[in-house]
Chain A
Amino acid sequence: MPPLLFLLTVLFLALHETGFLTPLESGLQYVTAPLQRGATRAIEQIGSLFRTVREVRELQAQVEELQQQVEALSIENVRLQEFQAEVVQLRALLNFVAENPSWTYLGADVVGREACAYAPCGEVIGDEPNPYLRSLSVNVGSEEGVEVGMPVLTGGAVLIGRAAEVGPHTTKVQLLTDTGSAVAAMLQQSRATGLVVGRPDGTLRMLYIPQEEEVQVGDIVLTSGLAGTLPRGLVIGQVTAVEQKDIALFQEAVVRPAVDYREVELVLVITSFQPLVQEEEPPGEQP
Chain B
Amino acid sequence: MTIPLLTGIALLQDIVLARVSILGGRPDLVLLSVIAWATLRGSAEGIVWGFIGGLLLDLFSGGPMGGITLPLLVIALLAGRRWGQELGPTGLRVFLVALGLCFLYHVLLLLILTGTGRLVDWAYGLSRVAAPSAVLNGVLAPVVHYLLSILDRRTRPEGLTFDGA
Interface size on A, residues (CB 8 A): 24
Q: Does B22 touch A at the CB level, under 8 Å?
A: no
> Which one of A31-39, A165-173, A247-255 is at the B interface?
A31-39
Contacts of B25 in A (CB 8 A): none
Alpha-carbon gap, A198 to B41, bound state (A): 108
Task: Please encode chain A, from 165 to 190, with 1 for each CB lying within 8 Å of some chain B CB and 0 for all others.
Answer: 00000000000000000000000000
A64 CA / B129 CA spacing, docked (Å): 45
Q: List the A residue with the shortest CB-CB distance to B69.
A: A9
B44 neighbours in A (Cβ, 8 Å) = 1-2
Q: If the complex has contacts A5-B48, A9-B66, are A17 and B59 also in contact, measured as CB distance less than 8 A? A: no
Q: How far is the CA of A28 from the CA of B73 in the complex (A)?
A: 21
Q: Beyond A5-B47, A9-B51, is A25–B116 a contact (Cβ under 8 Å)?
A: no
Contacts of B73 in A (CB 8 A): 2, 5-6, 9
Q: Say whether chain B's binding surface is mostly helix, strand, loop, or mixed.
A: helix
> How many Å lie between the Cα of A23 and that of B94 in the bound state?
40
A57 neighbours in B (Cβ, 8 Å): none
How many angstroms between the C-alpha atoms of A29 and B63 in the bound complex? 11
> In the docked arrangement, what's the CA distance between A6 and B50, Å?
10
Question: Is the beta-carbon distance between A39 and B15 smaller than 8 angstroms?
Answer: yes
Measured in the bound complex, the distance between the Cα atoms of B12 and A43 in whole Å is 9
In the complex, B146 has a CB within 8 A of chain A:
no
Which of A9, A13, A43 counts the most B-chain CB atoms under 10 A from its CB? A9
- Closest Cβ of chain A to B156, distance in Å, is 19
Answer yes or no: B159 CB below 8 A from chain A CBs: no
| A59 at interface by CB-CB < 8 Å | no
User: B60 at interface (Cβ–Cβ under 8 A)?
Assistant: yes
* Chain B residues close to A by CB (< 8 Å): 7, 11, 14-16, 43-44, 47-48, 50-51, 54-56, 59-60, 62, 64-67, 69-70, 73, 77, 112, 116-117
Q: Which residues of A contact B (CB under 8 A)?
A: 1-2, 5-6, 8-13, 15-17, 21, 24-25, 28-29, 32, 35-36, 39-40, 43
